Every structure is written in C-alpha cells, then in structure tokens.
Amino acid sequence: MSLRYVREFKGFAGIRLEADDIGSADDPSIVLLHGFGQTRKVWEDVAIALEQAGRHVINVDLRGHGGSEWPSDGRYDFNTYVEDVRAVLGQMRTRPVVVAASHSGWIATMALAEEAATLASGLILVDPAADHAPGAVQASADRMSAALGKGLNQADYDNAIFAAFDADGLGAALTQAASHIALPSLIIRGALGQIDPATAQPGFVETLPNAESIDVDGGGLLIVAERAEAFNGLLIDFLERKQPRFIPEYRSGSDARTLRDAMGCFGTGVTIITAHASDGRPVGLTANSFTSVSLDPPLLLVCIANNSGSAETLRSVDAFAVNVLQIGQQPVSNLFAGKSEDRFSGTRWEVGEYGAPILPSSLGIFECKRHALYEAGDHFILVGRVEKASFEPRRDPLLYFRGKYRRLHFT
C-alpha cells in the first residue's frame, strides 16, 4: 500500500509550499522540482516508480504553481525561488537527491552553490534550460502547458511569474555556482533543449565537478512525459550506483574502513592535545575522541593512537591540555594532524598555569593532571583531572562529521 499525503513546507518569507510526500521517510529521499508551465503532476509516474524502487519522494509545487501559494506581493524573482528551495531542503530529515527539470535546474544549482554538502546528497538536472534571454522562460512554459498530456493549462500557474523572473544574465553566476557543487550529479537530456541547437547545452553544467551526462533519443518535448520508462530506468540506475539503499554493515573481522565510516556518523568537536616532552619541547596532536567523564571528581579522557608521533610522550606526561578548537582554527587542526615536526613555530601558544602548552585562541581550554591511563587496542585512553577550564562563549566550534570539517547550522 502506497504511503502518501499532502505536506506543507514554509518557503521564503513564510510562503506556503505544497508537496506530495510519498513512501517511507526511512528510505533515501528525493526532492522533485518541476519546471515553469508545469506542476508536480508532471512527476506523478516518476514518483510512483521511485517509491517502488524504495525511495522516499517529496514532489513539490513551486510558488505560483499548482497547490502552492500564489503570493499577493508578486514575489517571483529568481532569488526568491532559490531561497524557497533552500528552505525546503532545510526542513528535510535527511539530505535528499534533488531532481530538477528545465529552469528549476537553474534554481537548484544556485540553491546548492554555498552549502551543497549540508543540504543535499546528489543533483539530477533534466533538460536544463540554456536560454536566459527575456521572454525565453515564458515561451518554454507556454510550450509545456500546450504539449503535456497531464491536464495542465495556464490556470495551473500564475502568469505574473514571467515578468518578475529575472533570468537575463544568469549564465556567469550559474557557471560559478556549479563549480562549487561536488555532489554526484547527472544531466539527462531529451529533445527539449534541441529545439534550438545553438543553445541546447547550458554551459554551467560543464563546470559541475562530479557529473555524468546522458542524451536520450526520441525524448519528445519533455523526456519525463514522452519516455517515462527510459527516464525512470536512468534515474534509478544512477541512484543505486551513487546513493544505494542498502545500509553498510561492519561485522567482526570485515573491512575496518566500514567500521571507521560508521564511527564517523557521530559528529564531534575537534581538539588538540598538548604537553611538554621530557626535554621541554612542546608536543601536540589533533584528536576528536574526547569526552567528559565525571564532574566529581572533574575528569575527562582522550583516546590517542599508539602509532602517533606524540604517543610515547603523552603516555608519560604528568600534565597536559585539551584545546577545543573554534571555526577559525581549521588550519591549526590540519597542521597538528599532519606529520610536521615543527607544529608550534607558526602557531600562537603559551605555557598554561599548570605547565602544559595551551593555544589561547581556542574555544575552550582544559588544563589537566594525569589521572589514569588504560590500554585499548591500537589506542590508549588518557584520563585527566581538570585543574583549570576556560572558554570563549562568543566563538563557535569547529566540528567533524563523516571525515569532513563542519560548522553549526543555525535555524
């Protein structure tokens, strides 16, 4: 039995956006964006095929289209559509693959330009438009509403869109935006872009760093409608290759990389552990295995790899510091995670009150005395008693998740 209901999203400036929510929210999600002169009805067959293939589908009506709100203030400029898409993605439980048809490809590309990795997990552009000239968007929309056999007509969208949608001159901005989207991407083209061969291939898609491109013969005016079976096959094949439905599993004795990736699902802060060697040299390394242990007595722990360059020194120290990093210290984190022997020469540091080196620009600093040490496989656990803690409440943390640095996302 199909799981389906009408879902509302809050778009830019609070506008109501309507969507079909299809399938189980526990499955990988897909967001479908129609082009101008269409509504979400155009994706109906695709949405059903995706659900049957084990995907969760959010099929959205753009503002001024179908069941979504038609704003009384006439806000249909390009940036408003971009912010609508960003708002929808920000309200998703997981990072979806975005599938955008025609001019919505422009909107999706700009929406993902700055924070692609935090908003989506893939991008699929269907017949992306190339012509930015005034009037081209409306001409395309008119062809759609006249040709699609989906019960669409001009009453399904607000004609005021075309006077407000400022597409002229977008080419350079789209090219710049696309170059920053490293997500797995797919461009599927049928006959729509071939109406004018001179403008059939939009230049911005060539700057997508991780893109595949497929041309489908006999696609008609819109491949989604004219070659639905072929289109669905291409779409699902790409999703299974790039965003497979199966959940990776680690079992004892299998690939340790899978276990590491699983551990990486726990987002953490980033710290640098510092101490003085017996000869007085400052030593330090980057670590994200750090946690509070107890408030009474005040204890914390860090986990240190046995093969790290500072491991032997940290095994024997009486005093050490844990420096919790802020977003401006990513270069310092990289420095202390590398193999450089001269980590402190270009880094601002000083000797703390309890004898360990500290990095005063950090978000937080814990100065510790050694409390206990435990062997733990290829790491050892160093437990420290906190003698002094200080922090800067106006700074934000440097985060680490799935092998990449992150920042807080404020809503």
Reduce the DSSP state of residue 276 to 3 states and report it. strand
| Confidence band of 406 (pLDDT split at 50, 70, 90) | confident
Average pLDDT (17-42) is 94
What is the CATH classification number for the domain harbouring 356?
2.30.110.10
Contacts for 253 with CB less than 8 Å, ≥ 6 apart: none
411 within some domain: no
Assess whether 181 and 315 both reside in one domain: no
Which tens digit of pLDDT belongs to each residue from 213-261? 988 865 454 566 656 788 888 999 999 998 887 777 888 887 888 888 8
Assess whether 288 and 173 both reside in one domain: no
Assess whether 53 and 148 both reside in one domain: yes
Strands (E), 244-378: 268-269, 271-276, 282-287, 290-295, 298-305, 319-324, 350-351, 357-358, 364-376
248 within some domain: no
| Confidence band of 200 (pLDDT split at 50, 70, 90) | low
Q: State residue 193's pLDDT score.
A: 45
| Confidence band of 134 (pLDDT split at 50, 70, 90) | low
Provide the domain limits for residue 238: 4-242
Which tens digit of pLDDT belongs to each residue from 280-289? 999 999 999 9
Distances from the Cα of 240 to the Cαs of 17, 51, 243, 337, 408, in angstroms? 29, 13, 6, 35, 30
Q: State residue 146's pLDDT score.
A: 61
Q: Judging by DSSP bridges, how do beta strands 298-305 and 290-295 pair with one another? A: antiparallel
Among residues 137, 82, 131, the alpha carbon closest in space to that of 110 is found at: 82
How many CB atoms lie under 10 A from the CB of residue 2? 9
Assess whether 171 and 235 both reside in one domain: yes
Does residue 79 have a pLDDT over 50? yes
139 within some domain: yes
| Confidence band of 194 (pLDDT split at 50, 70, 90) | very low
Assess whether 50 and 168 both reside in one domain: yes
Cβ–Cβ < 8 Å for 76, 161: yes
Estimate to the nearest angstrom the gap between the alpha carbon of 198 and the chain centroid: 34
Amino acid at the residue 376: A
Cβ–Cβ < 8 Å for 351, 281: no
Percentage of residues in the chain with pLDDT exceeding 90? 65
What is the CATH classification number for the domain harbouring 154?
3.40.50.1820
Reduce the DSSP state of residue 203 to 3 states and report it. helix
How many whole angstroms separate alpha carbon 332 and alpha carbon 270? 11
Assess whether 38 and 118 both reside in one domain: yes
Q: State residue 215's pLDDT score.
A: 82
Q: State residue 289's pLDDT score.
A: 95
Domain count across the chain? 2
252 within some domain: no
Which of 242, 272, 288 is the last residue before a domain boundary?
Answer: 242
Assess whether 89 and 184 both reside in one domain: yes
Which tens digit of pLDDT belongs to each residue from 351-363? 999 999 999 999 9
Least confident of 59-63, 129-133, 204-208, 241-245: 129-133
Which tens digit of pLDDT belongs to each residue from 142-175? 666 565 544 445 568 898 998 898 877 788 999 9
Q: State residue 163's pLDDT score.
A: 87
H and E: helices and strands count for the chain: 12, 20
Cβ–Cβ < 8 Å for 303, 365: no
Which tens digit of pLDDT belongs to each residue from 290-335? 999 999 999 999 999 999 989 999 999 999 999 999 999 999 999 9
Assess whether 221 and 273 both reside in one domain: no
| Confidence band of 37 (pLDDT split at 50, 70, 90) | confident
Phi, psi of 55 (to 5 degrees): -115, 150
- Per the DSSP assignment, residues forming a β-bridge with 376 are 379
Q: State residue 201's pLDDT score.
A: 67
346 within some domain: yes
Cβ–Cβ < 8 Å for 235, 46: yes
Q: State residue 156's pLDDT score.
A: 87
316 within some domain: yes
How many whole angstroms separate alpha carbon 168 and alpha carbon 134? 6
Among residues 245, 60, 64, the alpha carbon closest in space to that of 155 is found at: 64
Which of 242, 274, 308 is the last residue before a domain boundary?
Answer: 242
Assess whether 238 and 265 both reside in one domain: no
Assess whether 227 and 376 both reside in one domain: no
Assess whether 265 and 230 both reside in one domain: no
Which of 208, 242, 276 is the last residue before a domain boundary?
Answer: 242
Among residues 258, 264, 248, 301, the alpha carbon closest in space to that of 399 is found at: 264
251 within some domain: no
- The percent helix, strand, coil of the chain (3-state, each to 5) is 30, 30, 40
CA dihedral (50, 87, 42, 58) positive or negative: positive
The mean of the pLDDT values for the chain is 88
Assess whether 65 and 201 both reside in one domain: yes
Q: State residue 29's pLDDT score.
A: 95
Tokens representing residue 28 in the block = 């990988």
Cβ–Cβ < 8 Å for 368, 299: no
Average pLDDT (109-126) is 93
The single residue listed with the structure tokens 């971009």 is 82
DSSP per-residue string spanning 137-182 = HHHHHHHHHHH--SS--GGGB-TTHHHH---TT-HHHHHHHHTT--
Q: What is the pTM of this model?
A: 0.73
266 within some domain: yes
